[in-house]
Amino acid sequence: MVKYFLGQSVLRSSWDQVFAAFWQRYPNPYSKHVLTEDIVHREVTPDQKLLSRRLLTKTNRMPRWAERLFPANVAHSVYILEDSIVDPQNQTMTTFTWNINHARLMVVEERCVYYVNSDNSGWTEIRREAWVSSSLFGVSRAVQEFGLARFKSNVTKTMKGFEYILAKLQGEAPSKTLVETAKEAKEKAKETALAATEKAKDLANKAATKKQQQQQQFV
Amino acid sequence: MNSVGEACTDMKHEYDQRFNCWFAENFLWGDGSGNLCTDLFKHHQQCVQEAIKGKEIPIEGLEFMGHNKHKPENSS
């Protein structure tokens, strides 16, 4: 389950000024949480576009309840990659930014497109989308699945127990021996619980590895 | 602004200055040649890559632009 954001902003400066400023915006009074900035890859494509990958380190500011819940995450800064394509011929720039650690806790991805404002060619528009996701959702689903499966297995035991005691009270000879009936019910309950645990484990693993796989695909 | 590798910060500033000049005056106006293959850039990259390895920052094997993971609603 992903939280989606869509926003539009305008900068009252021309596209060339904005694109040049993009590389010079750190540090600024509003970027105290940004600790380091490095270009880790850069190339000009045959069709004259500039591809860059920028590595940023940012502080990991969490509310106190989150610090208590996730103490292991508190000590580590966040590493963020920002990929960008500058296309001067079309006067557009596209960026994709996401965190590459703390990913099991939360991943935030942002995609921006910078382009010339259609009403005023001296202004620049930014269309910004973001996706906030957490594999903790997968864990809570697994907990629910496990809880439901174990409950169902207990219902089976409950009903078997009822049938057993009713038969006994009504003087009916049980169709099997006491030991066999109880053993059978226990075996069935164990199988159901095992299948449920496997499913729950599988769900939790899928949720955890899905994000990793998506971020580690090779070109 | 600091580099992730403390030893690389000065090199980074020098590279940034040269890049910003080239970007604003040449690249944006159609002249995409030159600049990127300079020794300065190479040395800066080497320094940064060492720092990244040292800090075990997991930047390997990550697709550029997330390989268009989230297709825009109005694909162009």
Residue ranges of E strands in A21-106: 34-44, 50-58, 78-87, 92-99
Listed as ranges, residues in chain A with pLDDT below 50 are 217-219
Residues A192 and A167 in one domain: no
Q: Compute the distance between CA of residue B70 and CA of residue A139 in angstroms, rounded to an integer.
A: 24
B47 occurs within a structural domain: yes
B11 occurs within a structural domain: yes
B35 occurs within a structural domain: yes
Structural tokens at position A30: 């509003």
Residue A81: strand, helix, or coil: strand
- Percent of chain A clearing pLDDT 90 (strictly above): 69
Number of domains in chain B: 1
Residues A119 and A205 in one domain: no
Residues A81 and A21 in one domain: yes
Give the per-residue pLDDT at A181. Answer: 62
Structural tokens at position B23: 């970007």
B17 occurs within a structural domain: yes
Residues A81 and A106 in one domain: yes
Residues A12 and A46 in one domain: yes
B21 occurs within a structural domain: yes
pLDDT at B70 over 90: no
CATH code for the domain of A108: 3.30.530.20
Touching B: A residues 65-104, CB under 8 Å: 79, 81, 83, 85-86, 88-89, 94, 96, 98, 100-101
For residue A13, the tally of other CB atoms under 10 A from its CB is: 14
Number of domains in chain A: 2
Instruction: Say yes or no: A40 contacts chain B, CB-CB below 8 A.
Output: yes
Residues A133 and A203 in one domain: no
Residues A137 and A209 in one domain: no
Respond yes or no on whether ipTM tops 0.85.
Answer: yes
Task: For residue B68, give the DSSP letter.
Answer: G
The average confidence (pLDDT) of chain A is: 89
Q: What residues make up the domain containing B40? A: 6-55
Most B-contacting residue of A6, A8, A30, A38 (CB-CB within 10 A), to test interface? A38
Mean pLDDT of B5-12: 95
Q: What residues make up the domain containing A44? A: 2-174
B66 occurs within a structural domain: no
Residues A193 and A160 in one domain: no
CA distance readout (Å), B9 to A29, A68, A138, A215: 20, 35, 41, 28
Give the per-residue pLDDT at A182. Answer: 66
**Are B29 and A88 a contacting pair at CB < 8 A?**
yes
B61 occurs within a structural domain: no
Q: Is the pTM of this model over 0.80?
A: no
Q: Compute the distance between CA of residue B5 and CA of residue B2 in angstroms, rounded to an integer.
A: 8
Residues A147 and A74 in one domain: yes
Mention every residue, 6+ apart, whose C-beta is less than 8 A from residue B35.
Answer: B18, B19, B22, B26, B27, B41
